[in-house]
Amino acid sequence: MKFIASTHQLLQQLDLVDGVVVSKPLIPILENFLFEIKEGNLQITTTDLETFMTTSMQVESDGNVNIAVPSKVSMETLKSLPTQPVTFSIDDASHAIEINTGNGRYKLTGQNSEDFPKIPEVIGDNSITMPANMLLKAINKTLFATGVDELRLNLTGVYCQMFDDHINFVATDANRLVRFKKNGTKNGFENSFILPKKAVTLLKNSLPNDVTPVKIDFNKSYAFFSYGGVSLICRLIDERYPDYNAVIPTENPNKLTISRLEFISALKRVAIFSNKTTSQIRLKLAGSELNIFAEDYDYANEATERLTCTYEGSDLEIAFNGKYLIEMISNMDNDDIAMEFSLPNRASLILPIKNNDDEEILMLIMPMMISQ
């Protein structure tokens, strides 16, 4: 069997799904792309047994094809070629694959497609549809705050909490928390699930930033995403998400209002002089002044900056992990932001001065003990 495809178009599709492939998997077949051609439509599938991702494109073919193609070798070969049509010749008996170009011939060995894991059926208890750019924004606002501790598996993903008229996207690593709320979604039901970080990252890298509809079906075990010729199926994290609302402080008498870009710039400069282990930055608030301070005793380094701000409340000195604080503020969109505090040992909030009518974002950061 033979089929002809453009190197550029084929690479585009392979790039979409290559992120699923893991190196040195338990089952060797998982290092392959599954190529399935029927009536000139090439469907490409990858999986790590937890996540399945599929995309498709049109090719010239002289018949139906089913074969598992080594991902690393095929990707490296196609990347090294200029944009041109290439011919894949496949021996059904030996699973040998030959790639022919105008000037070269490359041979590799595939595997039997029958050995490739079967894709789970799309069986959802509930279903919603949303624009791709809306889902992409929710992911960008939350993904960075997910945890990495496998002993706290429930914190390693993004929590999707659906209500009748809105959806909450939540991420936390126990040191910081982000809640992105999308209003007016009209789901018509209440449900929730935890998406694993790998699947969310794949969505981030493959979703178009436009209004392409994304259909999401889900049940107790899987979530199914379908958009623009791409489908992604992932096993959900089977854990209970913590009651994040319980840690969001409601009494915050001290409020700082400041230019977001000025604040970030000052934090980045001062952070250069912070301790490389703790990344601690101290904020001292009094009147209309914010003093930002960092030091590293090991190298006798220190830095301080003073910014003009609007502050309502008692004089306060509080410390944070500078890397976390910078990353969180960088993921806000507004020109001016607010930080709300209660005590130096209590969680603080980072909020936009004004939310959009259909979106609300809240960020929470835990303080650090001030180094003496």
On the question of pLDDT at 372 being above 80, the answer is no
Residues 109 and 135 in one domain: no
Q: What does the pLDDT read at residue 185?
A: 84
Per residue in 89-138, pLDDT (tens digit) is 999 899 999 999 988 999 999 999 999 999 988 887 789 999 999 999 99
Helix (H) / strand (E) containing 304: strand 301-308
The residue range of the domain holding 297 is 248-365
Structural domains of the chain, count:
3
Residue 207 lies in a domain: yes
Residue 61 lies in a domain: yes
Residues 284 and 360 in one domain: yes
On the question of pLDDT at 37 being above 70, the answer is yes
Residue 372 lies in a domain: no
Characterize 152-180 residue by residue with b for buried, 16 or more Cβ atoms within 10 angstroms of its Cβ, and e for exposed. eeebbbbbbbbbeebbbbbbbbebbbbbb
- Tell me which of 90, 115, 140 is where a domain ends: 115
Residue 370 lies in a domain: no
Q: What's the rounded Cα separation, in Å, for the pair 181 and 194? A: 16
Closest of 27, 17, 14 to residue 74, by C-alpha: 14
Residues 181 and 223 in one domain: yes
* Three-state DSSP state, 244: helix
Per residue in 310-346, pLDDT (tens digit) is 999 999 999 999 999 999 999 999 899 999 999 999 9
Residue 121 lies in a domain: no
Residue 221 lies in a domain: yes
pTM exceeds 0.85: yes
- Tell me which of 79, 94, 115 is where a domain ends: 115
Residues 136 and 230 in one domain: yes
Residues 236 and 281 in one domain: no
Residue 120 lies in a domain: no
Closest of 82, 51, 48, 59 to residue 13, by C-alpha: 59
Burial of 211: CB neighbours in 10 Å, binned 0-12, 13-18, 19+: exposed
Q: Find the CATH number of the domain harbouring 327.
A: 3.10.150.10
Residues 275 and 203 in one domain: no
- Tell me which of 195, 229, 245 is where a domain ends: 245
Residue 94 lies in a domain: yes
